[in-house]
Amino acid sequence: MEIATLDWLRTGDGERLIARAREAWAEHAGDPVRVASVVRRLEPDAEKAAAATTQAQLRARAAAKFGDAAAAMFFTPDALEQATRTRVAEHRAARLAAAIPGGSVIDLGCGIGGDLLAFSRAGLVAAGIDQDPVRVAMAEANLAALGLAGAVMVGDATTVDTGGFDAAFADPARRGGRGRVFDVEGWTPPWPWVLDLLAGRALVKVAPGIGHDLVPSGVEAEWVSDGGEVKEAVLWSPGLATVDRRATVIGEGGLATLTEDDAPPLGQDGVDVRDVGAYLYEPDGAVIRAGLVTAVAAGVGGGLVDEHIAYVTGDASFRTPFARGYRVLEHLPYREKQLRAALHERRIGRLTIKKRGVQVVPDELRKRLALKGDQEATLVLTRVAGQGTALLVEPF
């Protein structure tokens, strides 16, 4: 998209065309040919019509991340995919605002401004820089559309002197021409730049799979999940860190957090490997990534089913934001032939298969089991004290 086209989309005529395109998507079940025909009848300029149609589609998709605000925002497909969910960005911004009340932050690679919006809402003086002029223009437009303060400019984030700001934020690109980049040296900007940034007062969003061994001494690593899905890890520099490792879980009921202070070493404070009890707990992905599974065990008065497996078991029922709970109904045979017979005997035709620590592909196993029946069940395949185990469970 050209910046001139974006400027036109921000006018009354442009917004009305986007609104009509969204209506057409609903009316014609997303049929791109029919939607394009509706829009072109209203706007003969092909570039403007295509841009309005694209924004209508992207705004509809963006609602999952940005909620009602998406209806007034501007996106590119790549920038929307890379953008942080509002609830996650607002948690990060609120935490930064608590550390530097009324302070300033610069977003080094601001994209369309998703994180800038959260920083500004949190009461921080927010500025952003990005090399892509179109994304910078969209960030400016999004701040204006939502009535938020902030400054953006085109430039190379790696050359910025961050000394004039109270904190710096960065989200290095982790995708290349061949897809996702797992090697930190292949990030843009690369890992050495991230380490230099963390030497000052900074926070950096990184891949959730980052190894604990890569986190510098004194830097806090926080893993964040939203709605049960791990969304990011954030490295907080020593000037902003409060612990070494943290798991933050965001759900419908609000936000909860665990740190290494909550996680006793295995074998201490009553937390150890034990036999499967009446209940099984599956820790949230952020808890697992942060290495805080024993905190869940301590919280439910239980233990681990295996030293190397992230399942917790106990004898009592607990509700916790840090894990999903299951009632253990039966121990079934682990060998496939006997397992198939047991499931057929119980008339189980619909089966959710959860696995951890075993070489099983659930979809393939489900086909081989050839299930028949009118009952529905959940099966957990894992290791207990090193042995393959099948557990029939039900969520609570």
Domain co-membership, 151 together with 227 = yes
| Residues 6 or more apart whose Cβ sits within 8 Å of residue 374 | 347, 349
Domain co-membership, 137 together with 189 = yes
pLDDT (0 to 100) of residue 26 = 87
Domain boundary pick from 199, 228, 258 = 258
* CA dist 65 → 84, 223, 231 (Å): 7, 18, 12
Average pLDDT on 2-27 reads 94
Range of the domain at 242: 81-258
Helix axes 114-121, 86-99, angle to 10 degrees: 50
- Between CA 284 and CA 286 the distance in angstroms is 5
Domains in the chain, number: 3
Average pLDDT on 228-243 reads 97
Domain co-membership, 152 together with 250 = yes
Domain co-membership, 243 together with 116 = yes
pLDDT (0 to 100) of residue 182 = 64
Q: What is the DSSP letter of 276?
A: -
Taking the alpha carbons at both ends of the chain, their separation in whole angstroms is 49
- Contact between 122 and 93 (Cβ < 8 Å): yes
Note whether residue 269 is domain-resident. no
Mean pLDDT for the chain? 94
Note whether residue 272 is domain-resident. no
Domain co-membership, 100 together with 217 = yes
The three-class DSSP label of residue 336 is helix
Note whether residue 110 is domain-resident. yes
Note whether residue 70 is domain-resident. no
Domain co-membership, 291 together with 238 = no
Strands 312-314 and 303-304: antiparallel
Note whether residue 76 is domain-resident. no
**Position 232 pLDDT exceeds 90:** yes
- Between CA 152 and CA 363 the distance in angstroms is 47
Note whether residue 72 is domain-resident. no
Confidence of residue 385 (pLDDT cuts 50, 70, 90): confident
Domain co-membership, 33 together with 99 = no
> Which residue shows structure tokens 């994180």?
115
Domain co-membership, 217 together with 139 = yes
Note whether residue 264 is domain-resident. no
CATH assignment at residue 96 = 3.40.50.150
Can you give the pTM of this predicted structure? 0.91
**Position 227 pLDDT exceeds 80:** yes
**Position 11 pLDDT exceeds 90:** yes
Amino acid (one-letter) located at 292: L
Domain co-membership, 90 together with 155 = yes
Confidence of residue 18 (pLDDT cuts 50, 70, 90): very high
Note whether residue 73 is domain-resident. no
Domain co-membership, 46 together with 91 = no
> Which residue shows structure tokens 């998507």?
25
Domain co-membership, 368 together with 226 = no
Residue 124 CB-half CA count within 13 A: 30
Domain co-membership, 171 together with 224 = yes
Joined tokens for residue 159: 């050359």
User: Which residue from 200, 201, 112 is spatially nearest to 152, judged by alpha carbons?
Assistant: 112
**Position 176 pLDDT exceeds 60:** no
